[in-house]
Amino acid sequence: MAGNTVKLHRVLRTTPEKIYRAFTDTDAMARWLPPNGFTGKVHQMDAKVGGTYRMSFTNFSTGHSHAFGGTYHELVPGERIRYTATFDDPNLPGEMQTTITLRKVSCGTEINVVQEGIPDIIPVDGCYLGWQESLLHLAALVEPDIPG
């Protein structure tokens, strides 16, 4: 895959199934995926192989939004998610591919994120920072075990 790539690795204190659900539930995605300073909205999601999704991030300070969407290519509950994304903005050309792998470990779940094909106009370090923030939001959502 052409373009820039970011890779992240974390261990979260939760089950692979709970993390998988956070990637395939519209309300969860809107809550944890936008990096700091952004709000998110999921406009459409059909989380099945061949299904599509569409969402947008809005810069809370400026009100400027960017929309993107893509197709799910692999969905293995509790193990693996692979999807593509393209931006509506013609200044952000190309197709990105994101692969999430989950593996149960002694203290929770190991998560690996690989995002490939990031448009050249997007600084890789900014994308990496955004993913780090998003993964902190993900941990805040999935790690608490609240009964009832």
Question: For residue 139, how far is the Cα from the chain centroid?
Answer: 13
Rounded to 10 degrees, what is the CA torsion of 68, 74, 79, 81? -10
Residue where the block lists tokens 């593996």: 103
Domains of the chain: 4-142 (3.30.530.20)
pLDDT tens-digit profile, the chain (148 residues): 445 999 999 999 999 999 999 999 999 999 999 999 999 999 999 999 999 999 999 999 999 999 999 999 999 999 999 999 999 999 888 999 999 999 999 999 999 999 999 999 999 999 999 999 999 999 999 999 999 8
Query: How far, in Å, CA of 18 to CA of 40, rounded?
Result: 20
Burial class of 96 by CB neighbour count within 10 A (0 to 12, 13 to 18, 19+): buried
Query: How far, in Å, CA of 51 to CA of 65, rounded?
Result: 24
Residue where the block lists tokens 């998560």: 111
Contact 96, 85 (CB under 8 A): yes
